[in-house]
Amino acid sequence: MIAPERRKAVAVVLALVLVVLALAGGTVLHAGAADENGSDSLFLPVIVGSGAGGTPRPRITPVPGCAGVTQIPIEECNALVVLYNATNGPEWKDNRGWLAHTEPCRWFGVGCAPGAPGAPGHVRNLYLSDNRLLGEIPSELGDLHYLEILFLNDNRLTGTIPAALGNLGSLEELNLHVNRLTGSIPTELGNLRSLKRVLLYNNELTGPIPAELGNLSSLQSLYLEANDLTGSIPAELGNLGVLERLNLHANELTGSIPAELGNLRYLEELTLYRNELTGPIPSTLTALIWLDMFNFSETKICVPDDPAIAEWFAGIQSVSTSDITCTSAPVLNAIDNADGDGDYTVSWSADDNATSYALQEAVGESFINSATVYTGTETAYDVTGKAPGTYYYRVNAENESGPSLWSNVESIVVMSNP
């Protein structure tokens, strides 16, 4: 039997424990402890942790290698150990300390920040560049919620970029370049508003550039070159207000340069070469007054015959062009059909940079349901046998960069059959 004096002392201690638990949001279960006479003489609290709203918080079981670790949360230690095991850690170039002791912040490449007094610290930096990592990036890295710097570049990593990296809300630098990563760029990376540098170049990434990357308001450098990316350049990249470097070369991108890239007023470097891009350089790019390098060689982007573009080029330190000049919209001549019959000729001005022309015909000036009646190198087309009615025409010039704007519209009225 427990002495009354001792019961009183224990009761005081338990009361203090209950107060602390209540303040911490924990749940207290009432469990009895019987004395040798079987009387319920002492009640012990059983502690169950809880999260927001009183929801029970499951205990995280440490993986082998994290038992006894108190320097950082077990969740973060588990993520590090999973990375080690998934990327052939025993064969890393440098694996000093890893799994050898219970202080992960002293493991090679791991940098930590101290926690509050009496609380564990957190992993802030992970520098494992050029360290012979072999394997796939585990999704558990998304549990390093305080991570600011991630360097896994120049290794032999394969597989996809885990979408769970989109959970790293404190991340400022993501360096995965020079690996063998495949698959698409996760749209979840657009959640990382603290990102300043994203380096994914020299991988085997496919699919489009996610428009969600336009949400990265702190981004200064975006390196996506030397992959197999397809689709167009998202106009949303024009939202990256502090971007300084945009490297998209050596991919399979198509379409034209978005006019919205002219909003990148701090841009210093823009590389687009070795893509399937077409169309003219937008006049909006002349607002990029800090641009030092612009390379669009080995593309089908054309240079407009525009004095403002020429003046802008002159102020850029390094410009590499496609050597293609854009075509200009031809001038469609007035159509002579004085006798009102269905035989007449449609002609237009020549463009020195054109390789062909396309003539469209419609029965309404909006050109809904229009038909292309001629494509070729000539600058005139003979129309014969048209039925009575009103016909509208327009023409454009084309070269390897694509078509020009449409010409002016001319119409003709046919009164009778020839």
What residues does each domain of the chain span?
A: 4-54, 74-320, 344-414
Per-residue pLDDT, 59: 58
Which of these, 353, 360, 331, lies nearest to 398 by C-alpha position?
353
Per-residue pLDDT, 417: 67
HEC string of 104-130? HHHCCCEEEECCCCCCCCEEEEEECCC
Per-residue pLDDT, 65: 85
Query: How far does Cα 352 stand from its chain's mean position?
Result: 40
Per-residue pLDDT, 28: 36
Angstrom distance (rounded) from CA 65 to CA 78 = 8
Kindly report the CATH number that applies to the domain delimited by 344-414: 2.60.40.10
Angstrom distance (rounded) from CA 304 to CA 327 = 8
Per-residue pLDDT, 126: 98
What superfamily does domain 74-320 belong to in CATH? Ribonuclease Inhibitor (3.80.10.10)
Would you give per-residue pLDDT tens digits along the chain (418 residues)? 445 455 545 444 444 444 334 444 443 333 333 333 333 333 333 333 333 344 444 556 777 889 999 999 999 999 999 999 999 999 999 999 999 999 999 999 999 999 888 899 999 999 999 999 999 999 999 999 999 999 999 999 999 999 999 999 999 999 999 999 999 999 999 999 999 999 999 999 999 999 999 999 999 999 999 999 999 999 999 999 999 999 999 999 999 999 999 999 999 999 999 999 999 999 999 999 999 999 999 999 999 999 999 999 999 999 999 999 999 999 999 999 888 899 999 999 999 999 999 999 999 999 999 999 999 999 999 999 999 999 999 999 999 999 999 999 999 999 976 5
Per-residue pLDDT, 338: 86
Structure token pair of residue 286 = 């002349």
How do beta strands 389-399 and 402-403 pair? antiparallel
Topology match between the domains 74-320 and 344-414: no
Per-residue pLDDT, 121: 96
Query: How far does Cα 376 stand from its chain's mean position?
Result: 41
Residue type, 162: P
HEC string of 313-331? HHCCCEEECCCCECCCCCC
